[in-house]
Each structure stands twice: as C-alpha cells, then as structure tokens.
Chains A and B, each alone.
Chain A
C-alpha cells in the first residue's frame, strides 16, 4: 500500500483563553448579564490556518517555509492528527511519525529505558523488537549506564541524543519533521546526518518545516510558503525559495 497524504481546505482557529475567560465564573456570569456576554465574544481567536489544500503521494518531499508564527508547526500537528480541523479534511494513509519537539512526549522523570519502552509500545512493537530498539537507542545516544537513570539528570547533549535516537529509530511511511531536528552542534549533526538521511530516504512522504534554505533545497522537491496561516506560494522548491528570500 502506498502512502498518501491529502489535505483539503483545512482551517483551524486557536482559541486563546485568558486566565479569566477560561474560568467557570466568567462563563456563568456572562450568560447571565448582557454586558459580560459581549465581552465574551471578544475572545481572542488566532486564525492559525486558513483554507490550506495540498496532496502528496509516495515520493513527494514537501518543505514548509514561513516566518515564525506562520502556522508551520500547527500544520504539522494537524497532519499528525493532534489537532483536529473544524473545517476541511485531513487524510493520511500509511504509518506516520511526527518529529515535533526534542522531548516529544518524553517523561523526564522516567529512566531512559522506560521512555524507550513507552515509545516502543506506542508504535505497537512487540517485546522482542522493543529490546532491539533499546539496544539501538542506547548505542546511538551513548547512554551507557545512564539508561537506568531518570532522564531529568541527563546532560542536555545526552537528552538531545536520546530524543533524536528514539525519534529516528522507527521508520514511518509518512515523516513529518520540524526544524528543531536540524539544530544541534556540529559534532552531533555529523553523527546524526547519516541516520536522519537514512530515515528521510526510507520515508515515502516527507513534510519538513524549516527556515534553513540549504536544508529545504537539498531535501525537498516542492515548497509551500505559509504566511499568516495561508498558502502564499506553492510550487517547485527553487522557485518558491527564491520568491521567499526576495520577500523576507
């Protein structure tokens, strides 16, 4: 079965609840008095995504570019099924792995081994494969005996390596990746590159969100430029990157 990703006309609003607007008192009182009700309608809503459509098939490599706050990460989260759109639809066929942030649901109070087990179970691996995963991650992240200590006490380098090793150990058909993944010190990047490129090549569909022009140009064939939650341009990587560089 080939992977496929289909996004049709999604819009997404982000309600920003103030500390007061969020409370029950505000809601109860606002429904009782007219003045407060008009206040309630002023609820700040961030229009995170507006009418976004695209379709990716096996072999497609899409880059998402745009300034901070243009909706790149929200779009990735929506593709991963974490945020459900109210308007439009998202269809993803195939296994999916979303590398959104370095911690990625890691519990820093748990040991490295426990975190690895949880990730394995999340991905539906059996006990034997979890053991394999453990060995793989331990070796790559150079955890050594630290694997049985809480992640909280790891050095920041160790933590990044663990997050990276965990995230890249499982090969999805559809890979969603945020730019943090490409940030790291030079020595680490050197080591990580092979593993990352392996995974990117193995994935049928890649969606990468990044600021970095060389990364987008070397990995992506198509680029969507997001501006304030809307698609400003969509086309071949070089073309869109050129327009983006000229505008920013």
Chain B
C-alpha cells in the first residue's frame, strides 16, 4: 500500500540540453539556471537553515555560540586597541563591534564561496538542480549567522547610547549590494575552486592580508587627511563603508559609492561570464 505522489510543479517541465558553443546560448542556459534557482527558493532556504542546525546540533547554546564568541572578541580587542591607538572607548568600541561583525560576514562568505560546489558534491552528482541554488544557500546561511551576531551590535550600541539616524536607512541598499556580490562570489570562486583545488588556501591568505590593510580594526581617519582619497581604491573598504558608515551616522562620500558600485559590477560581469562558460562542466570537476 503506497500513495502515489506526483511531482506537481515540475510536471510540465521539459529538459532540453542542446549544446551550442555560442556565447548567447551559454548565457541563456545560465539565465535559466538562475531563474530555476529562484523558483526553488524554499529548498534553498531550508538547506541554509539545516546547515546552521547541523553545525550546532547537540550544543546547548546552538548558533548563539557565534554571538558569544563575537562578543568576547569585541570585548577583548576593544579595550586593548582603544588603549594602543589612544582612542576614546565610547567612540571606538561601537565602531569595532560593527566592523568585526560585518567583516565576519564578508570573510566567511568568501571562505565558504570556495566550497560552493565541492561541498555539495553528493547532491550535484545525484540530481539536477540549478547551480545558482548552491550559491544562494551559502549567502542565506551567512545571513542567518549575521542575524545572530547582530545582537552584539545592538547591545554595544545600547550601552553607548548610539542610535543610527535616518541616514542609517542607507545601509539597506548597501547590504543589498552585499547579497548580490556574495552570490557572484559563490559562482566565481565556487567554479574556480572546483576546477583548481589549490585556490582555497590562496583565497584564505589573501583574505587575511585584506583584513589588515582594510580599515576594520583601525579607523579610516588613521591614514591621515592627505591620504584619505586613497581608501576608495580598496573595494573592500568601499563595500564595507556603504553599510558601516550609515549605521554610524556618516554618509559615505560619492567616491566610496562609485568604487562600491563599480567593483560590484565588475565582479558580476566576471562571475557571470565565467559561470556561463563553465556551468555545464562543473559536474565533471567534482
């Protein structure tokens, strides 16, 4: 006795794989992949949620361990660096808390992006799913982690009585850019790292370097007024600033926005061209 369940939504689906080695045809297939992934958003979000659940299965605090470890880091570094840099704690600690939490999001997405496809090898080889879905899973997973870490920011801001003004709303479009860039990074790094297995260590060491050369634990003012104009040449600074600045009450300069939008467009162009080119080959590389 068994009931007959039918795959409802995919009922009228036609699978048509006609390889045409033209740019336009590849773009079309990649676009179809993107659309199919959006149609599977429920599966994507459940996968992201299960990733978090699985990581903390059996632990008492669960994902709040992340919150706690971020809080400990902010506390430890905040007092030490405020003293080292001779800075006012009231000014520095909220800045550091926000910076560390946001950088945590950026850094983890870049690290995870390298494993977009390699970590899902089992699923990719078992069933046809849009490849973009695996990227969406990583972005969503990290948004969930960020949501837990937001508590640290809220608490620090409450202690120091900082309320982001109406300018804070500018952080919303900034964050939208992050989500789009995160997906592009997953497609780009995911594909490259599936083919060349020694890219992930390179990415990680470059990431470490970027952390130190980007104003994350040090303030952008520290470079001195004559060298401020150099900062937007670092896309990581610009992208960080379009979210961080508004939340701390400063509206980012036009140069920062130009740099953030320009680098995002460049990243997407690069990711899209590569993804469209190799999408059909990823399954063979795993």
Contact = CB atoms under 8 A, between A and B. Distances in A.
Contact of B43 (A14, A22, A118): A118
Contact of A80 (B16, B18, B128): B128
A23 B126 contact: no
B22 interface: no
A195 B196 contact: no
B2 A123 contact: no
A168 B6 CA distance: 11
Interface in B15-73: 15-19, 40, 42-43, 46-47, 50, 54, 57
Contacts, number: 139
Interface of A is mostly: mixed
B115 to A, nearest CB: 15
A109 B129 CA distance: 21
A117 B46 contact: yes
Contacts of B46: 117-118, 121
Given A124-B8, A125-B7, A133-B5, A85 B127 contact: no
Contacts of A125: 5, 7-8
B32 to A, nearest CB: 12
B128 A82 contact: yes
B125 A82 contact: yes
Interface string A99-128: 011011101011000100110011111100
Nearest to B45: A121
A122 B198 contact: no
Nearest to B15: A92
B161 interface: no
Interface in B164-184: none
A90 B128 CA distance: 14
A104 B17 contact: no
B197 A23 contact: yes
B2 A27 contact: no
Closest 8 CB pairs of A and B: A124-B9, A105-B126, A81-B128, A84-B280, A89-B18, A123-B7, A121-B43, A92-B15
21 contacts: A24-B199, A24-B202, A25-B198, A77-B125, A82-B127, A83-B284, A90-B15, A93-B15, A94-B14, A95-B6, A95-B10, A95-B11, A95-B13, A105-B125, A107-B50, A117-B46, A118-B43, A121-B46, A123-B9, A124-B10, A136-B5
Interface of A: 1, 14-15, 17, 22-25, 27, 77, 80-98, 100-101, 103-105, 107, 109-110, 114, 117-118, 121-126, 129, 132-133, 136, 140, 150, 168-172, 195, 198, 202
Interface of B: 2-19, 40, 42-43, 46-47, 50, 54, 57, 122-129, 195-199, 202, 280, 283-285
